[in-house]
Amino acid sequence: MPFPSLRLPGSRSLVLLGLACGLGVAPAQAMQGGFPDYRGPSAEGQRLPDVSEHVDVAWDWVADGFDAVSAGDERRTRGSLERAQEILEEALAANPHSRDAAVGLGIVFFYQSYYVDGRGYPHAIEFLTRILEADPYAVDAARYLANAYAQQGDGRNARYYATYVEAVSTDAELHREMAELVRPFEEAFLDGWYQYADYYDRPEARVTTFNPQTFQVETVVQVTPQFEMSLARQGLAQLGPAGAPAADPELKAYLQRLVDKLQANSLGPPIHNVVEVIDSPEPNAAALPGTILVNTGLVRFAESEAELVAVLAHELGHVYAHHAARLTVSEIRTRMTASALLSLVKVENELYRQLIDIGVDVGVNLLLKGYSRQYESEADRYATHIAFNAGYNPTFMTSLFVRLYQIDPSTPFRLTATHPPTSERIERTTRYLEDFPLDREMQIDSREFTEIRRRLGG
């Protein structure tokens, strides 16, 4: 990660333009006996030693260290920063309420880590954190904390302290610096969530067997979009009606538009998912590739379009992650290893029938019993991105969970039988949502949702 331009506090302002070029020098000298004591700003009228000259001299040494970096003088870089450290420690010992001395020392620890030895970042982070705990308005402490975490690749904490800086500082240039600092983490998070774009080309999307007569590995099953949708249709047909279809073409068209919008903004498998509306009071939904079942009770229960979208996005998450196909392949492999299916490899029609039966059974069991907690967690994560990419506020997934939990804390969220307990999902999803840039304008509701819900008596 390129090092951002940083400004030194006070009048000695320097702009660093990525001066570190792999110095490879010896580790900075570690402090002995713990950190100097910073007690926060002094009380009004309290008489304390003036250490400003010490701080100025320390910054002169820091500036000399930067000159040494430009000159490629490793030994001088280390020595200058160590001298700045010593002077600031003395200043802070003389005046434990000096913000300039404390923050300056934390910044020196940061530069020692950046230019001398990256193993020093935890040391710098601990001291800067102590400063901020004693002095919440020490903006430069938060600023360098954000940078230290960024250098360690910790995007979550870098974002936290960048947001902290933006909250306590009105400096527009500093705001821009923080935005640039966290942008690579934000982009990686928003762009790298979908892990199955190449699923159909992966080994886990096929079942193979070794043919001893030809000495060739032959493909027994290859998952394709058509294969997934065919198994889903047969599974739904075998299961029978999930309930009476709702005689409400406007509701069905509205839900279909929402699903189409979600899919259009998050490219997944080439599967068109058709909404089927069931007349049932239970706030429930389910999905297999090509079909999403939505109870009218879910629309009545949702208090906003964003809550409704959260559930639809969750069901799409199962389709995007190929959960039914992955379970089918796993089950076929298990049975081929442990049963007579191996002897049927040459009897293609019978083998195909048995393989299809296995896939259909998997789909039926998913509709009846639900997915594993691991798959549900993955669908929750995907749902937040699918909703966000379509312009919806993803935090409304947790608001829906909270209301379900308040109704009956002892009962799991009954979208399907094996969803994790709602309290667990709230905590896990809330943590994940912290990585989204939630400061932008996002959709929560629509006039169409309000009218549909009013007509349903929600």
pLDDT of residue 358: 64
Residue partners of 191: CB distance under 8 A and separation at least 6: none
pLDDT of residue 360: 57
Instruction: Look up the pTM and report it.
Output: 0.80
DSSP 88-100: HHHHHHH-TT-HH
pLDDT of residue 188: 96
pLDDT of residue 416: 40
> Cα(342)–Cα(333) distance, rounded to whole angstroms?
10
pLDDT of residue 249: 95
Whole-angstrom CA distances from 362 to 166, 201, 206, 291, 432 are 50, 22, 16, 15, 30
Return averaged pLDDT per consecutive 10 residues of the chain, 458 residues in all. 43 36 33 74 86 96 97 96 97 96 97 95 96 97 98 96 96 97 96 96 90 83 92 78 83 98 96 95 90 94 96 96 90 68 49 57 58 88 98 93 71 47 80 91 95 86
CB 332 within 8 A of CB 416: no
- Phi-psi domain of 446 (left: phi exceeds 0; alpha: psi -120 through 50; beta: other): beta
Alpha helices in 220-273 (DSSP H): 225-239, 249-265
pLDDT of residue 47: 87
Domain ranges of the chain: 52-191, 199-456
pLDDT of residue 44: 77
Domain 52-191 carries which CATH code? 1.25.40.10
> Cα(120)–Cα(128) distance, rounded to whole angstroms?
12
pLDDT of residue 125: 97
